[in-house]
Amino acid sequence: MIRLVGTLSNTWEPRDRECVLSFDEMKICKMMEYDQATDEVVGPYNYLQVVGENWGVHNPIEPYFKYPKTVKNVYIVPHAPHLLKLLRNWFIDHGFLYKGQVIKADLLFDLVAKRDQAELTPLHKLTRNHLIMTSHEKQNVLRAAQVLSRTTALSLRQYYPENDEASKLADFTEVVDLWFSISNLYTPVAKLDYKKSFTGNTRR
């Protein structure tokens, strides 16, 4: 198979020879199944290893795979809390290019310092422990949600009203907060409407 791919790729353009392999872990329903092909019972397993490949720039990774028995598409929905942690980690370590401007975590470090000096502050949840973490602490979803929250955005606008970078960072943070609220719904009785899970009610 590898030789075949090598032979075929010799006729491709250099950019089409690039191959990206993606590996991720997906939580599945823990159950046992009978595999007719191998005549054995498989499982129970809690997790599934998902492998994706992307050849060239014109063939994006498809977010699904074929279920062998029914040949129907099984769609892979990214885990929102995991994506939020990765987003927070990259933001703190490297920053982002957002609407033509680089936004970094430097303002958040300064914001935490201002918070410590103030007697009253809207930023009562954010501390240096949210920004400087061990590898184990980076797995904490709650901390990631508190960093990229609407409260952080409001505080940035309050403390830096004339700072364009702070304004961009506040906009970015609010977008992330709204996305996470919609993507991580778990209860129909949340205080905010956009954080309520879908129940099929016609009024929703």
pLDDT of residue 188: 67
For the chain, which residues score pLDDT lower than 70? 1-2, 4-6, 8, 14-23, 51-62, 77, 116-122, 185-188, 194-204
Q: ∠ at Cα 179 (138, 176), nearest 5°?
A: 55
pLDDT of residue 180: 87
pLDDT of residue 69: 76
pLDDT of residue 53: 58
pLDDT of residue 173: 92
CA distance linking residue 149 with residue 108, whole number of Å: 12
pLDDT of residue 47: 77
Per-domain residue ranges of the chain:
1-75, 80-183
Helices (H), 31-149: 80-93, 106-117, 141-147
